[in-house]
């Protein structure tokens, strides 16, 4: 019988297909959520509340692996001071609560923690090729990721394997960033954002799920890895390719950075930061991406064929 995995954020964009994949492979799956009832057949659901510090201790019973995906959506609400605090706390306090439970449970058998992080760690870096040893950025997106990763590292003094996946834009037919990007293009109002030269690291949802499974099942995998395709694209190239796959044309001029800053405020970093990541480290471990070029990834998602 396969082992049991505890997932935070199990109902999210990555969590749902990852849960399905784990169940299909015979793993036991535990979810932590604010609701007691599970919405996914075969999953054991346990309640927690990170703000009050409450967590059902049964969540780590027989659990050997924790996959930490929990976190408030980066662009779900304007970045007020309250929301900034929530963006950090939802990532940091959640894993700290689990670590506290592990330390207080003598029979806990957790052997590995695999956590999401973000390519926002690097900040706005123009055309610099970013590896896992590159220094972090200095903006708020970077601050979130630094705090996130530091919290995950807090268990490092115990015999627990740690893997952190700095995730790019996850391309999925179930929503997420892609649903926000394709909507204006579908309605004829698509446009390049800013200069269009900013790099966008991306990853197909199938590769994202495969990468979590790979990190889970390959015990030699340790440390931090960029989780994005070997071929990042600029915003202009991404927008053009998306329009091509959708059978649309980009008719509007690029949206100037100043306008985006006025509309989005500090949150404009989400679309204007340039992050050109390298996938060499994870590839060198033996991981193989199914989707390495953007057009094949988008064509797979939309189920359409394209012409040159």
In sequence order, what DSSP letters do the residues of 43-76 get, joined into one string?
EEEEEEETTTTEE-GGGGTTEEEEEE-----TTS
Closest CA to 98 of 44, 45, 55: 55
CATH homologous superfamily for the domain 4-302: NAD(P)-binding Rossmann-like Domain (3.40.50.720)
Locate 113 and state its tokens: 């923690």
Distance CA 257, CA 9 (A): 33
| Closest listed residue to residue 95, CA positions, set 73, 75, 69, 118 | 69
According to the model, what pLDDT value does residue 159 have?
A: 85
Tell me the pTM: 0.95
Query: How much is the pLDDT for 38?
Result: 67
Q: Residue 274 CB: number of other CB atoms within 10 A?
A: 21
Per-residue pLDDT tens for 193-223? 999 999 999 999 999 999 999 999 999 999 9
Q: To 10 degrees, the CA torsion angle through 254, 259, 260, 262? A: 180
- Of 1-5, 156-160, 172-176, which has the strongest mean pLDDT? 172-176
């Amino acid at each position: 019988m396969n082992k049991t995995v505890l997932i935070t954020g199990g109902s999210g964009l990555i969590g749902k297909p990852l849960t399905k994949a784990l169940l299909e492979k015979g793993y036991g799956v535990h979810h932590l959520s604010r609701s007691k009832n599970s919405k996914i057949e075969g999953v054991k659901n346990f309640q927690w509340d990170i703000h009050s510090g409450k967590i059902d201790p049964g969540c780590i019973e027989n659990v050997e692996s924790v996959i930490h995906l929990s976190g408030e959506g980066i662009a779900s609400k304007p970045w007020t001071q309250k929301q900034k605090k929530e963006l950090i706390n939802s990532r940091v306090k959640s894993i700290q609560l689990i670590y506290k439970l592990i330390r207080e449970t003598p029979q806990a058998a957790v052997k590995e923690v695999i956590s999401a992080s973000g390519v926002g760690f690097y900040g706005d870096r123009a055309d610099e090729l970013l590896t896992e040893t590159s220094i972090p950025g200095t903006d708020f997106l970077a601050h979130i990721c630094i705090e996130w990763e530091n919290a995950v590292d807090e268990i490092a003094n115990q015999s627990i394997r740690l893997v952190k996946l700095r995730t790019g834009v996850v391309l999925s037919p179930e929503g997420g960033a892609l649903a926000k990007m394709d909507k204006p293009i579908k309605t004829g109002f698509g446009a390049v954002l800013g200069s269009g030269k900013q790099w966008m690291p991306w990853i197909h949802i199938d590769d994202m799920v495969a990468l979590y499974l790979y990190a889970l099942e390959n015990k030699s995998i340790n440390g931090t890895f960029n989780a994005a395709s070997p071929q990042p694209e600029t915003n202009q190239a991404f927008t053009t390719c998306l329009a091509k796959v959708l059978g649309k044309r980009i008719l509007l001029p690029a949206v100037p950075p100043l306008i985006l800053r006025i509309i989005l405020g500090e949150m404009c970093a989400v679309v204007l930061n340039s992050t050109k990541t390298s996938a060499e480290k994870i590839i060198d471990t033996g991981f193989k991406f199914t989707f390495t070029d953007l057009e094949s990834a988008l064509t797979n998602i939309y189920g359409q064929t394209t012409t040159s």
